[in-house]
Amino acid sequence: MTCLQPVKVKVQFKFFFQNIAVLNEAHNQGLLVLPMELRELARKYNLERLRFQSPSPQDRIDEASEFRAYVEALLEQNCGSRIVG
């Protein structure tokens, strides 16, 4: 994989927690393998509930923070880069 420098990522985190909730359920049913980091987020924030209800304002704050940390970790792991901007 080739990484371009500098890497710019426009942070669009809407639905990050809700997507994890759905994917975690699919993981639990054996339909796919969800990375451990995302399973841990599902457990930490009890994201199962977001399959049936809208995120609270606090969920949105946590979601933004966790999304940024997740993307930064992926960039650093794969490219040695950090989010710019």
CB burial string 37-50: b at 16+ within 10 A, e below: ebbebbeebebeeb
pTM of the model: 0.79
Which tens digits make up the pLDDT trace of 28-84?
Answer: 999 999 999 999 999 999 999 999 999 999 999 999 999 999 988 888 887 875 655
Contacts of 73 (CB under 8 A, 6+ apart): 37
Q: Is 50 exceeded by the pLDDT of residue 4?
A: no
